[in-house]
Structure 1
Amino acid sequence: MDAEIGKERVYCNAALIETKSNYRALKKLKDRLETWENVWTELSRAGATLNPETELQKLEKAKVRLILADDPEFPPLLREIPWPPFGIYVLGELPERQKSAIGIVGTRKASEGGVELARTFAVELSRAGVVIVSGLAFGIDAASHKGCLEANGTTIAVLGNGLDAIYPASNEKLGRNIIASGGALISEYPLGTPSLPQHFIERNRLISGLSLGIVVIEAPKVSGALATARFAFEQNREVFVVPGPANHKNFHGSHQLLRNGARLATQASEILEDLNLAEANEEKNASRSFETNEEKVIFEVLENSAEPLEVDKIIEMTHLESRVVNGTLTLLLVKNLIRENNEGYGVKS
């Protein structure tokens, strides 16, 4: 890690903690003083007493990284938005830069049909190689993340609190599964920051900011999903809306978005086509050339599994010999068609 960037991360983290992530105050200081080290010096003169190095150690212990806006690893789309975050805290791994992302949002109080729609869109978009971005909330958010994981895809959950806690607590297992499957939890708030109402509105701009476009599924007249859509319009992102019954309250906000110029979407293929991702998906599928039938069989078993599989399970499901399975898995890894983690093997999205 570049020493200067590393030093700036230390002081940015300390400044965020000291000011309780007061964006406007910090932006004024940063614009005037140019570096986070200078910002921290000013805050120290004003009475700040916390130890920046101690706070850094807390991050390291929690396995959380802070990626600053001028760091090469920072998502380029997020850098372009109005009021970009100073940095993002990351637990897990950010997807490869060339991967396209789409946000899926909607009401926490989703209907069974809405949950199934979110899952279906997430599955189909993930199988096309798209990263799914959402907020880990109940309802549409959770269904979107689960659909992506079902398709062995990569998903990012944007939280409105510090990454030392997963909120809501009932979705902690889902959050851990996101990380284990190669995705990430991200936040612009330092460790220890609670889930406050205003944080959820602020984090919505990150969901749209990370994405080429967002898909709205079931948004009532008063909905955080509508805030995400407004941010998306401001950021020149595409807004897609899945329509529903005219008399269902969960679609009143959705239909208002359609009247305001959002695009109608009834299936994932329409979104892929509108965002010019359909051709890339076809090229990806064409690149899956299998030299042996064993490669094809093992790949399809992994592709159809909702979770990573261990070698013994693959042997059991394919009825292939151990040496054949191990050798074929190695070939598929070399071809970059599958991935391996602590839980076993899965298909790369």
Structure 2
Amino acid sequence: MILNFYKLVRIFGSAKNAWENIKKEYKKLDGFGHKMVSDIGNPEHLKFANKEIEFCEKNNIKINLRHFNELPQLLNECDDAPAILYQKGNFDNSKEKVSIVGTRNMTSYGKQFIHDFFEETKSCNYISVSGLALGVDKEVHEQSVHNQISTVAVLAHGFHLLYPAKNRKLSEKIIEEGGTLFTEFNSSRKPDRENFIQRNRIVAGISPSTIVVETAFGGGSISTATFANNYNREVFALPGKVTDKQSQGCNHLIFQNKAKTISTIKDLIDNLGFNNTKLKTEELFSHNEIAVQLTENQELIYNVIFNNPQISLDDIVGKINLSSHKILPVILELELLGKIKSFSGRQFIVI
């Protein structure tokens, strides 16, 4: 139905024209039969639509329409993107995004990974995306709020309720802190079982990358990873012991080459493209504050290189009262500390 709606709007130029003319024109269209179009034009649908608009206006809900290109950019590129996406809160499409999903039965291993990931990325300018379920989803949203990172929660029901009820206060906090609640379901839709799989394609579609923290065989997060694969998005999975039930789904995704292995959080951050962390650190801490942590000789050589980018070893010797055989070990120490980088011709820069 989603694709049919989108196709009709493109053919007729607007939803109004399709609504008024489809019954007269459907025989000329490929893929549309009488049964498919028989209910279009039913005045009861217009009554429901008007009530839905009133509900949205009363509850500060924005209605995003795909045929007006109002969906998040990457989601809009998906063939099965929703025709309508209801929104509460703010959404900054210019920020990087990453979807993080996993089991409701999260272990301490998964919780520690999520904590460490957000600790390492709290200076990065991105949006986390998850499904507001218990377990991994809840931890993702809570860590986002705690670290002042915008977060998107995608719901499997309409905005007339909040499921699970335990997450009601968290959903309010998400909006208060500048985050977003999305759903494609109108206010009559309850959190039926099939809605959760349908919801997962939006979680996968919004972001260029999806991280699967923990999941058992056949867990709902496997569907999210599958959607992401089908959209040609990157998938990363946290490996675990083969005997741990909540790691078996992740291990299987990796085994089937449907997800990249998360070996370290640093490598994961690099793969996600969150490379502005160091820049943010340099904005928060001045050069002098960094240099204070070094030994006297390290600080001396670091300052020379900082003030003279791509300086050669001979020039360093000329600027300070140390011989080259004493300078080289200190330069090696600075390289190991990640403070400087060497080039051919024994030239150095601060990084």
Does the pair score TM above 0.5? yes
2:64 counterpart of 1:64: no
Task: Letter of the 2:199 partner, please give it.
Answer: R
The alignment partner of 1:132 has SS state of strand
- The Cα offsets for residues 34-53 of structure 1, whole Å up to 9 and x where unpaired, read as 42223444656345354344
Task: Letter of the 1:61 partner, please give it.
Answer: K
Q: Tell me which of 75, 79, 83 is aligned to 2:72.
A: 75
CA contact (8 A) 2:9 2:67 kept: no
Task: Letter of the 1:188 partner, please give it.
Answer: E
Task: Letter of the 2:176 partner, please give it.
Answer: A
> Could you tell me which residue of structure 2 aligns to residue 212 of structure 1?
208
The alignment partner of 2:116 has SS state of helix
**Cα distance in 2, alignment partners of residues 247 and 67 from structure 1:** 45
**Cα distance in 2, alignment partners of residues 202 and 136 from structure 1:** 14
CA contact (8 A) 1:62 1:164 kept: no
- The Cα offsets for residues 138-161 of structure 1, whole Å up to 9 and x where unpaired, read as 100001111111101100000111
2:102 counterpart of 1:112: no
Task: Letter of the 2:152 partner, please give it.
Answer: I
Equivalence map 1:1-349=2 (5 Å)? 22-23=1-2, 26-27=5-6, 29-41=8-20, 45-51=41-47, 52-71=49-68, 73-95=70-92, 97-261=93-257, 262-278=259-275, 280-288=276-284
**Cα distance in 2, alignment partners of residues 136 and 112 from structure 1:** 19
Residues 27 and 67 of structure 1, relative CA distance in 2, 3 Å threshold? closer
CA contact (8 A) 2:123 2:281 kept: no
CA contact (8 A) 1:132 1:155 kept: yes
CA contact (8 A) 1:116 1:143 kept: no
**Cα distance in 1, alignment partners of residues 169 and 229 from structure 2:** 33
- TM-score (normalizing by structure 1): 0.71
Offset of residue 287 of structure 1:
4.1
Q: Which has the higher contact order (CA 8 A, sep 6+)?
A: 1
Task: Letter of the 1:145 partner, please give it.
Answer: H
Residues 71 and 124 of structure 1, relative CA distance in 2, 3 Å threshold? farther
Residues 70 and 44 of structure 1, relative CA distance in 2, 3 Å threshold? closer
**Cα distance in 2, alignment partners of residues 289 and 73 from structure 1:** 39
Offset of residue 245 of structure 1:
1.3
Task: Letter of the 1:272 partner, please give it.
Answer: I
- The Cα offsets for residues 42-82 of structure 1, whole Å up to 9 and x where unpaired, read as 65634535434443121110111011124455311111122
Q: Identity of paired residues, percent?
A: 29
CA contact (8 A) 1:125 1:268 kept: no
Residues 34 and 150 of structure 1, relative CA distance in 2, 3 Å threshold? same
- Which protein shows a greater Rg? 2
> Could you tell me which residue of structure 1 aligns to residue 349 of structure 2?
none
CA contact (8 A) 1:121 1:267 kept: no
Offset of residue 225 of structure 1:
0.5
**Cα distance in 1, alignment partners of residues 41 and 7 from structure 2:** 17
Task: Letter of the 1:91 partner, please give it.
Answer: K
CA contact (8 A) 1:119 1:148 kept: no
Task: Letter of the 1:235 partner, please give it.
Answer: Y
**Cα distance in 2, alignment partners of residues 176 and 220 from structure 1:** 30
The number of residue pairs the alignment matches comes to 268
Offset of residue 288 of structure 1:
4.4
Q: Structure 2 stretches of 5 or more lacking a match?
A: 23-38, 290-351
Q: Structure 1 stretches of 5 or more lacking a match?
A: 1-21, 294-349
- The Cα offsets for residues 286-340 of structure 1, whole Å up to 9 and x where unpaired, read as 44478xx9xxxxxxxxxxxxxxxxxxxxxxxxxxxxxxxxxxxxxxxxxxxxxxx
> Could you tell me which residue of structure 2 aligns to residue 12 of structure 1?
none
Larger CA deviation: 264-273 vs 209-218: 264-273
Larger CA deviation: 166-175 vs 269-278: 269-278
**Cα distance in 2, alignment partners of residues 267 and 152 from structure 1:** 23
